[in-house]
Chain A
Amino acid sequence: MSISVKYFASIRERLNRSEESLAAEGICTAGEVWVRTTGEALPANVLVAINQEHARAGDTVQDGDEVAFFPPVTGG
């Protein structure tokens, strides 16, 4: 098992990838997922979802979770 990581819109373009898989060992929060995959601190304007629910950077993630990072939404 692992954590499935997805990126959308301007975040996807900046990182030049839309998804990846990450080993869950040593990861506790969504913010730590970002740090591990990008090597940078999570910017304040990047939003987080865990298992397709809006979440916060400090929220806990577990093996098998889907974690997504994206900019503020602009639909409608």
Chain B
Amino acid sequence: MKIRLTTGPLDPWAEVSTYQQEQASIAGQFGATAVFVGTMRQLNQGDAVRAMTLEHYPGMTEKYLEKVSNEAGERWSILDSLVVHRVGNLLPDDPIVVVAVWSAHRADAFDACRFIIDELKTRAPFWKQETTINGRRWVEKNT
């Protein structure tokens, strides 16, 4: 299991590929990999969004990413999981988050991957601030 925050560019596919190759213990064990990638849109609530800043609560954020990853491992039969999330400044089309889950069969991989991203959005302390033509605004609720 790995969780990571990054201020730099995020290549979700390279993250998944690299992590999978590093995990010798799951080689030959997994038959399913489910991946969710969240990407910044250029339109939100009807307005063009030029840029976004992601604020987080250092320490608590990592704690909750670990917590939801561990809970997924308790609820489903999975072999490994990866969560990488951007913080800081982003532009439209930038990947924001990647969640990957490896399991023997697809049902556990799909369900655990969905659980991790859904719980992350509900519990992990991140806050989005968008820059539109009218200035900056905090995103008030997740969709």
Contact = CB atoms under 8 A, between A and B. Distances in A.
Contacts of A76: 38, 85, 96-97, 117, 120-121, 124, 126, 142
Interface in B108-139: 117, 120-129, 138-139
A52 B96 CA distance: 23
Contacts, number: 73
How many residues of A sit at the interface, in one of the four size bands? Answer: 10 to 19
A75 B138 contact: no
Interface in B11-39: 38
B43 interface: no
A10 interface: yes
Interface of A: 6, 8-10, 49, 52-54, 68, 70-76
B88 to A, nearest CB: 13
How many residues of B sit at the interface, in one of the four size bands? Answer: 20 to 34
30 contacts: A8-B55, A8-B57, A9-B55, A9-B127, A9-B129, A10-B127, A49-B57, A53-B60, A53-B63, A71-B140, A72-B141, A72-B142, A73-B123, A73-B124, A73-B125, A73-B126, A73-B127, A73-B142, A74-B126, A74-B139, A74-B140, A75-B56, A75-B97, A75-B121, A75-B124, A75-B128, A75-B142, A76-B97, A76-B120, A76-B126
Nearest to A52: B60
Interface of B: 38, 54-57, 59-60, 63, 85, 96-97, 117, 120-129, 138-142
Contacts of A8: 55, 57, 125, 127
Nearest to A76: B121
